[in-house]
Structure 1
Amino acid sequence: MNKTMLWFLLLLSLRLSAQQVKTVDSRISHVTVFLNKAQIERVIKTRVEAGKTDLIVTGLTSQLDPQSIQVAGKGNFVILGITHQQNYLSELNVPASLRILKDSLEYLQKQIALEQSQKEILNKEEQMLLSNQKIGGTNQNLTVAELKGMADFYRVRLSEIVTTRMKHDDKIKKINERVVKLQRQIQEQNELYARNTSEIVISISADAASAADLQVNYIVANAGWYPQYDLRAINTKSPVQLSYKANVYQSTGEEWKNVKLKLSTANPSEGGLKPELYTWYLNFEEPVLYKRLKGRAAGVMLESAAPAMAKDKAEEDAEALNEVTTTADYVNTIQTSLNAVFDIALPYTVASSSKPTLVDISKHDLKATYQYSVAPKLDADAFLMAQVVDWEQLSLLPGEANVFFEGTFVAKTYLDPNNIKDTLAVSLGRDKRIVVKREKLKDYNSRKTIGSNQRESFAYEISVRNTKNEAVKIVVEDQLPVSQNSQIEVTSTDAGGAGYNKDTGKLMWELNVQPNETKKVTYKFEVKYPKGKIIPGL
């Protein structure tokens, strides 16, 4: 019996000795950034011995989704299983930028201590001088010259001490100001990096010692990207250049250093499960008697989400800009069945920071026609508009756009492809050389009472003067009121040749105005309503 037990213990010890634990280094090689969240790919190169080995991948962000972990590998081994665990004793590796800040803070603190020491020496010297004012002893008489010399010495030295001490105080004050700024920066960085880490344990089995190449994929939160655009027009005869950019952000606590970056228009947070329609029942409302209950009822909601994987100077300046090579020249756009993926060939570094990293995605020259537009009821200035076509295949997302015309920043606008039809209209700014006036024609305005109703007549004239040295095409917009009450009737008596939409009341003229020419349009309408009623805004 004892002999059998010894053999069992021996076999058990041999088996336990074959179960090795090995901590391995890994690096981030690829990152696919979704609109919300990101997929990280890490590579591991190591060597395993015969038997079972637990490879521990350390220093990972604690914000990874354990359900999303995938491991693949090459080598003569078998992957037995994967586990994930939090490590509350170890923090993420401190980046070089944070180490530099901490070193700078330590240096400044040493400088403050040195200045304080110098001040202390001066204080000691001052105390020594003040405590030794009896010169030459009580029995020795000093001449006037000797007394004057000693008095001058005391005065000069004490003045020097006071002046030097003030200089040290000034230095300490300035250093402290720098210390406060550094501490703020360090605090901001610490919020991103001073977190607990997590670990992935990969259990593998090998018949013999061999090399192992592993790839680990997982999804992380606190990461994503959002679009930003630049719209540039050189003049009214050139296409509009659209620069598609991405603001990539992440605060996972680990730096994505020199990684292959992909940007996906997918959003794992929205989920990938099709919603189901359930039977829609109708019934009469029944009175319900409510009773006051003690305590509270807790409701639990379960959420299921399936991460998606996957003229001149202006012209010269524009040509020079076109010659500049950007990341956009190294991006390949891949259209998948459901989304678009922008594959960036150049390696990128995205720090864990509260500020996003701007990445150029693509540049496109889009066909555009130019015309002016004015709504003088709201604003008498004419706005130059670019009508852009053939934008549908660019995989645009809603986002802000900076608008430039003739090399000058004009304004910010917002592109929403979901609300754009075939033509994308972009405002390029005001042109004061087109003078527009809208006047009420008093001779045609009247109010009459017919029976129990009142009838008011209105007339407006809009004049457009072109002071430019070239002809312009301009769209003039105005409106007639639209009734929301059957007792109020609106009648267009003269639309003045405008296109008239009865549903919206919108009037629209398309005018071609030659240089130094003035064109005028007039429209009239009537409003009929019951006598004694007041219509606000009429």
Structure 2
Amino acid sequence: MRKIVLILFVIPIMAFSQNIAKVNTTIDEAKVFLNGAQITRIGNLTLSKGDNKIVLTNLPNDLDPKTVTVKGQGDFIIQTVNTSINYLSNYENDPKYQVLKDSLKLLQNKLDQNNAYLLVYADEEAMIKANKAIGGTQNGTVVAELIKAADFFHNRLLEIKTKSLELAYQNRDLQLIINKIQNQLSEYENIAKRPVGEISINIYADKATTGKLNVTYFTNYASWIPSYDIRFTDLNKPITLLLKGQINQTTGENWQNTKIILSSSNPTISQQKPQLYPWYLSVYTPRSYAERGDKLQTAAEVMLMKDEELKEYSKSPAPTMMAMSSETPISMEYTLEARIDVPSSQEKLVNIQSYEMPAKYLYYTAPKVDPDAFLIANIYDWGKNYFLNGEANIYYENSFIGNTNISSYQVEDTMQISLGRDKSVIVNRDVIKDSTSKQIIGSKVKYNRAFEITVRNNKKSPIEIIIEDQLPISQQKEIEVTDIAVGNGKIDPDTKIVTWRYTMQPNTTIKTTIKFVVKSPKELNLAL
């Protein structure tokens, strides 16, 4: 028994031989990648002589030990660094949480008090109504007493009704506030109850001292999405392109007054270079779609996906801050000029850089596919600037007119941006009935097809327009495409796309035609 008592006394002595150092760290910097973020925390240390232990808590719960770096400044030695997950949250002691709980309690007490008064008023009203009879059945009632009683009933009932109505209005307002606080508490608890990451740091000091601590770690719970605003006011002026970044983070940490760096890199994908291996040919028998369990997407489904993507346009107000850019060997980094707050589970939209670029504007139409004319901006030498893939909102003279996409995968020297439809350029594609027919000649069918394309420029200024159509391409020797007539159009030898290019003066009309003949065996049904 004495041995057991001795052990119980020794354990506390050993536990308290290691000092718990005081440290209060704040998030100084967040480098946000396209997926993930590197967080830097800094703090001041107060160390005792000997072994000290520091625990940083309430960190993201996806801490990877390989990404944790601890640096210090001062007369001490960092011995070990460990990471762990804490599943026992102590959020009840958070002052902000306590304020919400206390406020809810006070409001609920007030609501209960009002309900108690309402019950009393209701009972009093019922008692008054139950005792309305004045005088007995034998003796008549004095008129003066009747008037006095009537006045009492009227005044008291009116007072009860008025006070009950006031309390009902108060209860309605109280309940609205209570509901908001309960929702806030519920959201807070959902975040606070989740597991949190912790970093334990063991430090040795020869003497009591102070110092500084710098801790960095990587989390997957953050990202940023590049997007653009494209603005133009006149077809003779440069186009303005504003790069923006939407920062998202669900780390559970609130980034307050934090230096933000947005990086075009993505650490979550493999950085290992690819390697080619010998390619051996073999006989392959394809399986059916039923065997593979694949699902083919219909054209309607694909169009639906595109429509849903367009619905994601956000009308968030544009911030005014910009960023400084710097190029690394493998990425571009944008450092915001001012420190900002990025609360957890909230989005933050920031301006990054603005580009003013000379552009040549022209119109494009392919009336076989779409009857509208589209304004196109050709931006030359766009490679001088660093662009990321992203959706772009288009504005003409500060009016939103639609969406398009910026692609950095273009290999040409000219970036082409579609700025939207222009209804003042009217396009029609009509069948020329006199030149369209179907004839059966022996074992073959001859299809004569002819179309007239009409373009009207109703604008007050000249425009340059490109018109495209196409000729059918035969994949069987039995099917021939002959007697092609496209006027001054140019035919691409591979795609058989026909291109016309015109300069149109204001309030003018041009017409062009495309004609061809298709011959095929009559047992083949062609979609022409």
Whether the TM-score (by the shorter chain) exceeds 0.5 is yes
Instruction: Identify the match of residue 496 of structure 2 among 488, 491, 505.
Output: 505
Q: Structure 1 residue 518 and structure 2 residue 509: aligned?
A: yes
| Residues in 1 aligned to 2:186 and 2:67: alpha-carbon distance in whole angstroms | 31
Residues 135-534 of structure 1: pairs in structure 2 closer than 5 A: 142-275=141-274, 326-328=320-322, 331-353=323-345, 355-419=346-410, 421-491=412-482, 493-534=484-525
- Any idea what SS the aligned residue of 2:251 has? coil
Q: Which amino acid aligns with 2:474?
A: S
CA contact under 8 A between 1:434 and 1:467: conserved in structure 2? yes
CA contact under 8 A between 1:455 and 1:529: conserved in structure 2? yes
Q: CA deviation at 1:232?
A: 0.5
Q: CA deviation at 1:104?
A: 6.0
- Any idea what SS the aligned residue of 1:45 has? strand
- Any idea what SS the aligned residue of 2:253 has? coil
| Residues in 2 aligned to 1:139 and 1:379: alpha-carbon distance in whole angstroms | 98
CA contact under 8 A between 2:219 and 2:251: conserved in structure 1? yes
CA contact under 8 A between 2:226 and 2:244: conserved in structure 1? yes
| Residues in 2 aligned to 1:325 and 1:123: alpha-carbon distance in whole angstroms | 55
| Residues in 1 aligned to 2:509 and 2:130: alpha-carbon distance in whole angstroms | 97
Q: 1:39 — aligned with what?
A: 38
Q: CA deviation at 1:527?
A: 0.6
CA contact under 8 A between 1:92 and 1:254: conserved in structure 2? no
Q: CA deviation at 1:145?
A: 2.1
Q: CA deviation at 1:102?
A: 5.8
Q: CA deviation at 1:386?
A: 1.2
CA contact under 8 A between 2:358 and 2:379: conserved in structure 1? yes
Q: 2:298 — aligned with what?
A: none
| Residues in 2 aligned to 1:523 and 1:280: alpha-carbon distance in whole angstroms | 46
- 1:136-163 CA-to-partner distances (Å, cap 9, x unmatched) read 8999975232033213422442344245
In the superposition, relative to structure 1, how do residues 55 and 450 fare at CA in structure 2: closer, same or farther (>3 Å)?
same
| Residues in 2 aligned to 1:335 and 1:173: alpha-carbon distance in whole angstroms | 58
| Residues in 1 aligned to 2:11 and 2:371: alpha-carbon distance in whole angstroms | 92
- Any idea what SS the aligned residue of 2:79 has? strand
CA contact under 8 A between 1:193 and 1:254: conserved in structure 2? no
- Any idea what SS the aligned residue of 2:145 has? helix
In the superposition, relative to structure 1, how do residues 15 and 144 fare at CA in structure 2: closer, same or farther (>3 Å)?
closer
CA contact under 8 A between 1:367 and 1:390: conserved in structure 2? no
In the superposition, relative to structure 1, how do residues 350 and 420 fare at CA in structure 2: closer, same or farther (>3 Å)?
farther
More deviation, 360-369/276-285: 276-285
CA contact under 8 A between 2:89 and 2:192: conserved in structure 1? no
| Residues in 2 aligned to 1:448 and 1:129: alpha-carbon distance in whole angstroms | 101
Q: Which amino acid aligns with 2:501?
A: E
In the superposition, relative to structure 1, how do residues 253 and 459 fare at CA in structure 2: closer, same or farther (>3 Å)?
same
CA contact under 8 A between 2:372 and 2:423: conserved in structure 1? yes
Q: CA deviation at 1:25?
A: 1.2
Q: Which amino acid aligns with 2:88?
A: L
| Residues in 1 aligned to 2:519 and 2:246: alpha-carbon distance in whole angstroms | 55
- Any idea what SS the aligned residue of 1:270 has? coil
| Residues in 2 aligned to 1:438 and 1:131: alpha-carbon distance in whole angstroms | 87
Q: Which structure 2 residue ranges, 5 or more long, are not aligned?
A: 1-5, 286-317
In the superposition, relative to structure 1, how do residues 282 and 527 fare at CA in structure 2: closer, same or farther (>3 Å)?
closer
More deviation, 12-21/410-419: 12-21
Q: Which amino acid aligns with 2:512?
A: V
Q: What is the alpha-carbon root mean square deviation over aligned residues?
A: 3.4
The alignment of Structure 1 onto Structure 2 pairs a total of residues equal to 489
Residues 117-128 of structure 1: pairs in structure 2 closer than 5 A: 117-128=116-127
Q: Which amino acid aligns with 1:38?
A: A
Alignment TM-score, normalising by the size of structure 2: 0.83
More deviation, 399-408/11-20: 11-20
Q: 2:20 — aligned with what?
A: 21
- Any idea what SS the aligned residue of 2:179 has? helix
- Any idea what SS the aligned residue of 1:269 has? coil
In the superposition, relative to structure 1, how do residues 405 and 16 fare at CA in structure 2: closer, same or farther (>3 Å)?
closer
Q: CA deviation at 1:529?
A: 0.5
Q: CA deviation at 1:174?
A: 4.7
In the superposition, relative to structure 1, how do residues 325 and 58 fare at CA in structure 2: closer, same or farther (>3 Å)?
closer
More deviation, 371-380/401-410: 371-380
Q: Which amino acid aligns with 2:426?
A: V
| Residues in 1 aligned to 2:240 and 2:367: alpha-carbon distance in whole angstroms | 30
- 1:144-199 CA-to-partner distances (Å, cap 9, x unmatched) read 32033213422442344245424433443454345435534543444334434332
More deviation, 130-139/36-45: 130-139
| Residues in 2 aligned to 1:70 and 1:270: alpha-carbon distance in whole angstroms | 21
Q: CA deviation at 1:369?
A: 0.4
Q: Which amino acid aligns with 1:525?
A: F
| Residues in 1 aligned to 2:49 and 2:244: alpha-carbon distance in whole angstroms | 50
Q: Which amino acid aligns with 2:479?
A: I
| Residues in 2 aligned to 1:497 and 1:368: alpha-carbon distance in whole angstroms | 27
Q: Which structure 1 residue ranges, 5 or more long, are not aligned?
A: 1-5, 287-323
- Any idea what SS the aligned residue of 2:228 has? strand
In the superposition, relative to structure 1, how do residues 486 and 163 fare at CA in structure 2: closer, same or farther (>3 Å)?
farther
Q: CA deviation at 1:98?
A: 7.3
Identity %: 36
More deviation, 439-448/39-48: 439-448
In the superposition, relative to structure 1, how do residues 233 and 52 fare at CA in structure 2: closer, same or farther (>3 Å)?
same
- Any idea what SS the aligned residue of 1:374 has? strand
| Residues in 2 aligned to 1:93 and 1:494: alpha-carbon distance in whole angstroms | 81
More deviation, 127-136/218-227: 127-136
- 1:93-145 CA-to-partner distances (Å, cap 9, x unmatched) read 99998777666655543442242133123124325535655768999975232
| Residues in 1 aligned to 2:375 and 2:89: alpha-carbon distance in whole angstroms | 59
In the superposition, relative to structure 1, how do residues 117 and 395 fare at CA in structure 2: closer, same or farther (>3 Å)?
farther
| Residues in 2 aligned to 1:483 and 1:217: alpha-carbon distance in whole angstroms | 62
- 1:441-464 CA-to-partner distances (Å, cap 9, x unmatched) read 222223333432222222222222
Q: CA deviation at 1:361?
A: 0.9
Q: 1:30 — aligned with what?
A: 29
Q: 1:289 — aligned with what?
A: none
- Any idea what SS the aligned residue of 2:199 has? strand
| Residues in 2 aligned to 1:496 and 1:260: alpha-carbon distance in whole angstroms | 62
Q: CA deviation at 1:511?
A: 0.2
- 1:46-102 CA-to-partner distances (Å, cap 9, x unmatched) read 122222211222332333323311101111111111112333333469999877766
CA contact under 8 A between 1:228 and 1:401: conserved in structure 2? yes
| Residues in 1 aligned to 2:162 and 2:14: alpha-carbon distance in whole angstroms | 78
- 1:302-348 CA-to-partner distances (Å, cap 9, x unmatched) read xxxxxxxxxxxxxxxxxxxxxx99321xx221211111111123101
| Residues in 2 aligned to 1:521 and 1:219: alpha-carbon distance in whole angstroms | 61
Alignment TM-score, normalising by the size of structure 1: 0.81
Q: Structure 1 residue 79 and structure 2 residue 78: aligned?
A: yes
In the superposition, relative to structure 1, how do residues 343 and 98 fare at CA in structure 2: closer, same or farther (>3 Å)?
farther
- 1:243-277 CA-to-partner distances (Å, cap 9, x unmatched) read 10110011111100001111111112213234555
| Residues in 1 aligned to 2:113 and 2:252: alpha-carbon distance in whole angstroms | 36
